[in-house]
Amino acid sequence: MDSFELYKLYISIKLHFSSENYDFLKYGIKKIDIKTFHKRKDKIFFDKLAKHPDPHGFLLANLSLNEKLWIRDLAYSENAESNYKNWLKHNQALTYNFKQDLVKLDSDFNKNFICENHQHPILLKKYLANEISLETLCILVDITGALKYWNKEMEFDFIYDTLKLKIKKYIPFIKYSKENFKKIALDFFR
């Protein structure tokens, strides 16, 4: 991948996670004029990241955590590489990690999703406390359809407003069988 291709990929994934209207999986990589790229003063960072063995995964791993990251925050950051390696490791053992996260939830399955007095549900609190992964949160939300209920119950919640876009935008990137994970969750909470 050359630095211009990486630039377009970076802009597209960043826009996917920060914009309600842009869908990377639907529209693909944004068409950008190369003149725009040549006017940038930070091309050196794109040159460096273009040499990464998995630039798509690297950008996805980091921008799904923080869509506001600038390219310079990614190019020479040990933290960004660590985020990528953790993301890769986590997704390679997704089923195992999902099962490990289920243990940390309330034994009453439905209770994990209920917003009592318009407060955050247990599932969201566990994610915010870094006790469960973004993938587990997204999978459980996806298999239950909880977003619709949460959108109504936490309509004016600032913290939830920032998270609901992340959840909605990250779900399509998780490679998992909805039926298999639903069965895992149902078997666990019996």
- Residue 162 confidence (pLDDT): 87
Q: How confident is the model at residue 182 (pLDDT cuts 50, 70, 90)?
A: very high
* Tokens of residue 15, six digits: 């826009």
pLDDT at residue 185, rounded to an integer:
96
Domain boundary pick from 33, 63, 91 = 91
CA–CA distance, 11 with 59 (Å, rounded to integer): 10
Q: Do 99 and 152 fall within a single domain?
A: yes
pLDDT tens per residue, range 35-78:
999 999 999 999 999 999 999 999 999 999 999 999 998 998 89
Measured between alpha carbons, how far is 185 from 131 in angstroms, rounded to an integer? 17
Of 68, 91, 114, the residue at which a domain comes to its end is: 91
Shared domain for 12 and 34, answered yes or no, is: yes
- Say whether pLDDT at 155 is over 90: no
User: Cβ distance 135 to 177 under 8 Å?
Assistant: no
Residues 87 and 7 in one domain: yes
Instruction: Say what the pLDDT of residue 76 is.
Output: 85
What CATH number is given to the structural domain containing 106? 1.10.220.50
Single-letter amino acid, residue 40: R
| Residue 190 identity | R
Provide the pLDDT for residue 51. Answer: 95
Q: How many helices (H) and strands (E) does the chain have?
A: 13, 0
- Full residue range of the structural domain in which residue 23 is found: 3-91
Count of domains in the chain?
Answer: 2
pTM exceeds 0.85: yes
Q: What is the CATH number of the domain that holds 32?
A: 1.10.8.60
